């Protein structure tokens, strides 16, 4: 996420939210938002999808009552607190704690870092060419943020679909020991030639059917499982079209 201040707009503020190749603009002034769009058009090839509305949203209550201070029984006993009600259902609080775990913090940092890097390098196509060997006539068709399932657990990264290959590169470097015992950090990469891909299909988690996967199967019976897409069906269509 970036925060820009217009030099000639007083105290007006423009906020740019970045998700892979999508941008969401909001701010305190419609004029400043339009001015930012013009500047972005001058620097990048972008498509304006118009104004987003919240009229169709479905608001829900927060999992816990706001402004409530939660303490443990041990704390109350030590501080001499009496008459404090015991939380009847701790499940909502437990779910909230899980959501706010350090893993979420690291994930958010990774997303913001990735967005900043995309802008710094000059777009996803340039990152693709930096990470992988690209042919002269090869065209990048689609880039999706997702997770690659591995034996060590899911790895967050970007899935690139081109006219020549399906490629994945992790957002952050992975630690591993070299044969000499030296600790190294490299990006986790996968590159599959389109000519070697037999099919790509949708799969679902047997325990949680709402969790969808994209399964890529090669001619030599290797399987790659990608998940966590913002829109897995759209990515699957690009994959099947490329194949």
For the stretch 182-204, pLDDT in tens is 887 888 899 999 999 999 998 87
Q: Which domains occur in the chain, in start order?
A: 2-43 (no CATH), 124-242 (2.30.29.30)
Place 216 in a pLDDT band, splitting at 50, 70 and 90. Answer: very high
Does residue 166 contact residue 192 with C-beta atoms inside 8 Å? yes
User: How large is the average pLDDT for residues 215-223?
Assistant: 90
Residue 80, by phi and psi: left (phi above 0), alpha (psi -120 to 50) or beta?
left
Buried b (16+ CB within 10 A) or exposed e, 184-209: eeeebebeeeeeebeebeeeeeeeee
Per residue in 125-158, pLDDT (tens digit) is 888 998 899 999 999 999 988 899 887 788 888 9
């Amino acid at each position: 996420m970036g925060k820009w201040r217009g030099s000639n707009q007083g105290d007006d503020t423009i906020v740019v939210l970045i998700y892979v190749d999508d941008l969401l603009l909001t701010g305190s002034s419609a004029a400043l938002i339009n001015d930012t769009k013009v500047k972005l058009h001058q620097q990048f090839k972008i498509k304006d999808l118009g104004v987003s509305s919240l009229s169709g949203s479905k608001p829900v209550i927060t999992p816990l009552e706001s402004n409530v201070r939660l303490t443990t029984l041990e704390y109350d006993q030590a501080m001499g607190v009496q008459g404090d009600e015991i939380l009847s259902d701790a499940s909502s609080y437990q779910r909230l704690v899980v959501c706010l775990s350090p893993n979420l913090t690291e994930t958010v940092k990774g997303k913001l870092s990735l967005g900043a890097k995309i802008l710094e390098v000059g777009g996803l196509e340039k990152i693709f060419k930096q990470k992988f060997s690209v042919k002269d006539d090869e065209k990048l068709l689609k880039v999706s943020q997702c997770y690659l399932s591995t034996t060590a657990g899911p790895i967050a990264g970007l899935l690139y679909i081109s006219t020549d290959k399906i490629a994945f590169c992790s957002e952050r470097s992975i630690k591993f020991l070299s044969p000499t015992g030296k600790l190294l950090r490299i990006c986790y990469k996968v590159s599959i030639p389109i000519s070697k891909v037999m099919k790509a299909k949708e799969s679902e988690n047997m325990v949680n059917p709402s969790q969808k996967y994209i399964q890529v199967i090669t001619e030599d019976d290797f399987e790659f499982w990608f998940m966590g897409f913002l829109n897995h069906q759209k990515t699957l269509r690009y994959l099947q079209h490329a194949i």
